[in-house]
Amino acid sequence: MSDVRRPIKAALLQVHSVVGLVLALLWAVVGLTGATMAFEDEIEASLNSQMMRVEASAPRRLTPDELVARLQAAGDFGKVSAVTMSSDPSAAAHIRFARSDGGTRPSSVYVDPYNGHLLGTPRGEDFFATVRKLHRWLLLPGDGNGVGRKITGSAAICLIVMLISGLVLRWPHRARSVKMWLKPNLGLRGRGLHGSLHAVIGTWVLPVYLVMTLTGLWYSFEWYKAGANWLLTRPQATAAAQPKPPRGTTIAESKGEARADAKAEATPLVFDHVWSAFLQQENNDYGRALLTLPAGAGTAVRVRSWARDSSLESVRDEFRIDAVTGRVISSDRYADKRFGERVLAGVLDIHRGAILGWPGKLVFMLAAAMMPLFVVTGILLYLSRRRHRRLAPPSVASLVPGE
């Protein structure tokens, strides 16, 4: 190694080691929780398969308001916040509830769409909700508005530094050797084996970790989200990409929103006007629809619609419909999005590898589950270097013998 590169690598190794030791446990927690959620939908579907399927017992299915009314007549479940309806005649309806005054959210329920009969509370929902909070904001107070969100975002930035510095530190003399890059030397023992596993497996998962961190930052920092919007859509495209009012909307109708809001203060919001308008917009051609009441003041209900053959969360149409008048305030159809807008809409699917189907989710899950391996081998390598420095003059050695 040249005299110029030696001090640079020594400093880089010091940064790599210190940052790794400080954030090792946090990365392990985020990695393991991410791996746990990789197949959340499939696990919950398996655990609740009987609850989620029904047999047609009437000529027609109940409307969302009829379902809510029958459910509330059966017991005090809390204020309904969202209803999921499906075009599949054998699929149960899913109802979610708003947070209580104490900040807790009651468990959701499945109901029979033909008679409103309560089918039960889905198993695994509370577990995955806790895992998700741990993954996103470490169960710290404030949830998404607290400090936990900033901590995980900062840890993601530090992980990018670790990935780049690790790649530089392990750059082999024979850089074009595929074997040197991708094949761990399992014949080694002790520090050599730890270094080989740390470096080679780190090279395997480096592209996946980069995708995870770059998309994960979207959920941590508003400045990052704004920058991504500017980069992928540009300001003029961003303005054009805002949900557009449907044809026929007039200025008078826009002014009528204030009157509708005032009326809604005295009248609880309902779903049926929204449901009728949505069916008209989609011409009854939908696979699944999620109707969500506004969290605060206002009468605009958000409706997300997925096609029957859709397997991705991001491939959906979205509408805002007035719950009092049934007027469509805005519509945002996936088919009308540009490439950059589709990328932004699919950040979550990219983050968990779902954009590549179940093989992608499996690869991302395994990569996330390997995070503790780097924690353990990294700590062992650090302790080994400490012992070595007490016995010999300090020197910069390659992470993998022979490189």
∠ Cα 353 21 180 (to 5°):
60
Q: Which DSSP category does 315 fall into?
A: S
Tell me what pLDDT residue 244 has: 56
* β partners of residue 53: 91
Give the relative orientation of helices 5-36 and 371-391 as an angle to the nearest 10 degrees.
150
Listed in order, strand segments (DSSP E) in 56-176 are: 80-86, 93-97, 109-111, 118-120
Q: Dump pLDDT digits (tens) for 228-267.
A: 999 998 755 444 445 555 544 444 444 555 554 544 455 6
Contact 170, 339 (CB under 8 A): no
CA-to-CA separations, 33 to 30, 39, 134, 235, in angstroms, rounded: 5, 11, 7, 36
CA-nearest of 387, 309, 396, 315 to 349 is 315
Cβ-based burial of 375 (10 A; exposed 0-12, middle 13-18, buried ≥19): buried
Tell me what pLDDT residue 247 has: 46
- From CA 229, how far away is CA 227, in angstroms rounded? 5
Q: Which DSSP category does 58 fall into?
A: S
pTM of the model: 0.84
Using the structure block, give the residue that is written with the tokens 């400490």: 386
- From CA 328, how far away is CA 296, in angstroms rounded? 19
The correct CATH number of 49-122 out of 3.10.450, 3.30.70, 3.40.1350, 3.10.310 is 3.10.450
Tell me what pLDDT residue 261 has: 52
Strand pairing category for 317-322 and 328-332:
antiparallel
- From CA 389, how far away is CA 392, in angstroms rounded? 5
Domain boundary assignment for the chain: 5-40+132-220+361-391, 49-122, 222-356
Count the neighbouring beta carbons within 10 Å of the beta carbon of residue 238: 16
Tell me what pLDDT residue 345 has: 93
Cβ-based burial of 195 (10 A; exposed 0-12, middle 13-18, buried ≥19): buried
Using the structure block, give the residue that is written with the tokens 């390659």: 398
Residues of the chain with pLDDT below 50 are 237-241, 247-254, 260, 262-264, 397, 399, 401-403
DSSP-derived secondary structure for 256-308:
HHHHHHHHHHHS---SHHHHHHHHHHHTT--SEEEEE--SSS--EEEEEEE-T
Tell me what pLDDT residue 120 has: 94
- From CA 210, how far away is CA 342, in angstroms rounded? 20
In 175-216, where does DSSP find H-type helix? 178-182, 191-216
DSSP-derived secondary structure for 151-182:
HHHHHHHHHHHHHHHHHHHT--SSTT-HHHHH
Tell me what pLDDT residue 143 has: 83
Tell me what pLDDT residue 173 has: 60
